[in-house]
């Protein structure tokens, strides 16, 4: 384990109890407002699968459901390979913490698909938008009111920055930004999973109104393999997020992450609760 | 229960064993090539949650992982409300059939989010594309080689029809079509879940090459509530599906379903295995 704060945040100890049971702890470095940054929780889920002795292949799909906020401190992760075929493997994963009377209470459910990938024909129907290079885009300055996890990322917003004035003026819901770990760290599946959840709630941008909002479920598809991740290394990713439908307390947002070279590394969708 | 083939396909009997355990059977009316149409499997998952005595609210998100093909015949569904909050409820669901030595073998895993929805501000950032009305679009004729489930839907493709010639010519990956149950049935959450999986693999359209392909995981977000569904009734939906990234054996496709009046009812994403 390195001393990088992200590696510390997703560090897991094998439990003696059974294969697939791990112990971890929330990280103050990635704290959000009422719980950990959801991206690190998604990364923890994935990390449990990646560390399981029966793992087949590499991540293809990840769905994480944030059922309840994690409390600061220790948690347990249970990763189960429910069904293993010749080249694909289906996992269910959950995170729990002690609840009433010390009984374990599940706060996060998830499913993961891993697969052995083979060379095939390939093409992208989602080309990277034309944007100025990272060096020409100013870094987003985190104010003193910023929450901890924001300090862990270098973000260079091209468009769709957090509204400067919460004046309720209706706008579009699309953001484009360059991003990477603030402290350099080579991209891997866990950090790609976390970065897929990096975009602030689209409802804030759309309405220029800061209503309570929180991700309830996120699904990320991994298009990159280990070789492509290695090529990216500590480079920038271009992230794009856009709202789709806002209705009666929930909206969905779609997100994409490209390498600076224009390879689509991951596509992600999430459904977000909002108030008012 | 009505005699509509879709109601028969998703019919579930409560098991005596425990709350949340149901028995069902695959339907020949919705048979695909090597298993049931994935849309009916998704609908069965949702139906188990909707029939659970502890249900809170209505469906918001559904992720279904097709781990192995269902064999023709009986299956069991287990729906567990893992975490219930004031207004949201998180479910894990699985389908199993007898495997080796009669032991139950899970072939489908899923998570479902239900919620009590409240009136809020709302808006759509995914307006319905401009297309001719259903009456002006010819109905897709199912040939004799058609698989059973296709007969259960009335489809009127506006663009992106299944290639007439498999000549390997590269094209776009977008389809738009009007669709509804061939035999009229009022839209509900279960049929909306099924219709979200109605689109044939984008890789066929993109490459005009009929390679083996199959959905591995689908996530659908429900934007409609019961009132909006009732408004649609037996009317047409406009469906749109588009491929995103094709790479090393997997691609993802995004789909949307609007009412004829232009209300976005559901957004859906899936990751699909393909060969070659």
Q: What is the mean pLDDT of residues B229-255?
A: 98
Q: Which pLDDT belongs to residue A101?
A: 87
pLDDT reading at A9 higher than 70: yes
Query: Is any Cβ of chain A less than 8 angstroms from the Cβ of B262?
Result: no
Specify whether A200 is located in the same domain as A267. yes
Q: Judge whether B276 and A226 are in contact, CB under 8 Å.
A: no
Kind of pairing between the strands at B174-181 and B123-124: unpaired
Q: Is residue A212 part of a domain?
A: yes
Residue ending a domain, choose from A59, A84, A115: A115
Separation between Cα atoms, residue B27 and residue B74, nearest integer Å: 10
> Quick check: B153 and B198 in contact, CB under 8 A?
yes
d(CA B93, CA B3) in angstroms, rounded, equals 26
Residues B100 and B165 in one domain: no
Which residues 182-221 on chain A approach chain B with CB closer than 8 angstroms?
A: 202, 206-207, 216-217, 219, 221
Domain-embedded: residue B125 = no
Clarify whether residues B181 and B269 are in a common domain. yes
Are A170 and A268 part of one and the same domain? yes
Q: Which residues in chain B have their CB less than 8 angstroms from residue A231's CB?
A: none
Residue-range definition of the domain harbouring residue A15: 5-115
Whether residues A104 and A152 share a domain: the answer is no
The answer as to whether B80 is a domain residue is yes
Rounded CA-CA distance A150/B248 in Å is 34
Separation between Cα atoms, residue A239 and residue A237, nearest integer Å: 6
Last residue of a domain, one of A115, A144, A173: A115
The answer as to whether B91 is a domain residue is yes
B96 contacts chain A (CB < 8 A): no
Asked if B144 and B30 sit in the same domain, the reply is no
Closest approach of chain A CAs to the CA of B10, in angstroms? 23
Residue A65 has its nearest CB partner, among B111, B170, B264, at B111
Weakest-pLDDT range from A56-60, A139-143, B111-115, B258-262: A139-143
Asked if residue A180 belongs to a domain, the reply is yes
- CATH number at B17 reads 2.40.160.210
Does residue B177 have a pLDDT over 80?
Answer: yes
Residue A124 lies in a domain: no
Instruction: Decide if pLDDT at A164 tops 90.
Output: no
pLDDT tens per residue across span B96-147:
999 888 899 999 999 999 999 999 999 999 999 999 999 999 998 876 566 8
Same domain (yes/no): A205, A149:
yes
A31 and A60 fall within a common domain: yes
Domain contains A62: yes
* B129 occurs within a structural domain: no
| Spatial separation of the C-alpha atoms in residues A184 and B3, rounded to whole Å | 62
Do A58 and A174 lie in one domain? The reply is no
Do B55 and B178 share a domain, yes or no?
no
pLDDT score recorded for residue A51: 96
Q: Which of B60, B65, B88 sits opposite A90 (nearest CB)?
A: B65
**Among B151, B138, B244, residue whose Cα is nearest residue B198:** B151
In contact, A39 and A220? CB cutoff 8 Å: no
- On the 0-12 / 13-18 / 19+ scale of CB atoms within 10 A, B32 is middle
Average pLDDT over residues B270-275: 97
Query: Over 60: is that where the pLDDT of A97 sits?
Result: yes
Q: How far apart are CA B201 and CA B242, in angstroms?
A: 10
Q: Is this model's pTM higher than 0.90 or not?
A: yes
**Can you tell me the distance from the alpha carbon of A33 to that of A200, in angstroms, rounded to the nearest whole number?**
13
Give how many domains chain B has, as a whole number. Answer: 2
B78-102 as b/e: b if 16+ CB within 10 A: bbbbbbbeeebbbbbbbbbbeeeee
Same domain, residue pair A143 and A92:
no
Distance in angstroms (rounded) separating the CA atoms of residues B99 and B109: 16
A180-196 exposure pattern, b = at least 16 Cβ within 10 A, e = fewer: bbbeebebbbbbbbbbb
Q: Between A113, A172, A271, which is nearest B60 by CB?
A: A271
Burial class (CB in 10 A: 0-12, 13-18, 19+), A160: buried
Please tell me the predicted confidence (pLDDT) of residue B34.
87
Q: Let me know whether A78 and A197 are in one domain.
A: no
Of the candidates B86, B115, B144, which is a domain's last residue? Answer: B115
């Amino acid at each position: 384990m390195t001393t990088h704060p992200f590696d510390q945040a997703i560090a897991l100890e094998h439990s003696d109890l059974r294969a697939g049971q791990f112990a971890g702890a929330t990280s103050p470095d990635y704290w959000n407002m009422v719980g950990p940054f959801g991206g690190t929780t998604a990364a923890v889920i994935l990390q449990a699968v990646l560390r399981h002795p029966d793992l087949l292949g590499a991540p293809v799909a990840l769905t994480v459901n944030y059922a309840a906020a994690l409390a600061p401190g220790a948690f347990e992760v249970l990763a189960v390979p429910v069904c293993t075929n010749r080249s694909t493997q289906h996992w269910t994963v959950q995170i729990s913490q002690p609840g009433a009377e010390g009984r374990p209470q599940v706060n996060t459910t998830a499913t993961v698909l891993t697969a052995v990938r083979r060379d095939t024909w390939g093409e992208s129907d989602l080309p990277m938008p034309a944007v100025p290079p990272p060096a020409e885009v100013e870094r987003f300055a985190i104010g003193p009111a910023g929450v901890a996890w924001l300090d862990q990322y270098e973000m260079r917003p091209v468009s769709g920055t957090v509204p400067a004035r919460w004046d309720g003026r209706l706008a579009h819901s699309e953001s484009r930004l360059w991003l990477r770990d603030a402290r350099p760290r080579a991209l891997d599946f866990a950090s790609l999973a976390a970065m897929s959840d990096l975009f602030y709630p689209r409802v804030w941008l759309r309405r220029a109104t800061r209503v309570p909002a929180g991700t309830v479920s996120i699904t990320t598809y991994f298009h990159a393999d280990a070789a492509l991740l290695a090529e990216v290394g500590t480079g920038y990713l271009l992230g794009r997020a856009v709202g789709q439908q806002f209705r009666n307390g929930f909206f969905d947002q779609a997100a994409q992450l490209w390498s600076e070279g224009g390879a689509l590394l991951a596509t992600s969708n999430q459904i977000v609760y909002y108030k008012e």
